Amino acid sequence: MKGGVIRTYINGSHYDGQMRHDKPHGRGKFTEVGGIISYDGDWVDGKEHGQGKQTYADGSTYEGEWEDGYPHGQGKVTDADGITYGGEWKDGEKHGQGKWTHPDGDIYEGEFKDGKPHGQGKYTYADESTYEGAFINDSFHGYGKMVYANGDVYTGHWLNGLRHGYGRLVDHQGLVENWIFKNDAPWVYLGGDEE
């Protein structure tokens, strides 16, 4: 790297870049022994800080903003198995607004907290069923709407991923049923009509 130093450590790790007080500082690339993990980007006092890209042993990558050695701010991770997440990070965790995509076609777009869907979001399944509403700790929780692949629609309350409390079912032919659900099962019928 222009204006930098090349340093090989006792364990075989390698750093090529700018340094200050014998620590990576500025722009540089660090590669662990055997190339298992590498980071190419900005450094402050020996920690990843600013813009950079980290490549892991399994081929996964994270590219984006860093703070004090952790992904923090805007960034994108691509796992070796093809799962991607692009969005906000806080202290190394998915946190804030983001979009998660699985190679089987499932997509979640919305709020994250501590690495999990949490807050308002939309989950679209590969079969094109969708859930839009509240999430807590990676589960449908609170008020939300599920549109099933066959055209049926449930709008109502959820608890830990299960329909629970008041909910309204509208089948694909327009028949409406209002229920109190308990642990995902219809419990008390409240009547119905046609939409």
pLDDT tens sequence across 51-72: 999 999 999 999 999 999 999 9
Distances (CA, A) of 171 to 125, 174, 177, 190: 19, 5, 9, 16
pTM over 0.85: yes
Distances (CA, A) of 105 to 38, 78, 127: 30, 15, 8
Return the number of other C-beta atoms located less than 10 Å from residue 174's C-beta. 10
Q: How confident is the model at residue 165 (pLDDT cuts 50, 70, 90)?
A: very high
Mean pLDDT of 1-26: 89
At 192 the pLDDT is: 81
Distances (CA, A) of 143 to 2, 29, 39, 155: 56, 47, 42, 8
Residue 81 pLDDT > 80: yes
At 3 the pLDDT is: 64
Domains of the chain are 1-87 (2.20.110), 104-195 (2.20.110.10)
Smallest CA-to-CA distance from 156 within 166, 147, 148, 171 is with 166
CB 179 within 8 A of CB 189: yes
d(C-alpha 116, C-alpha 16), whole Å:
36
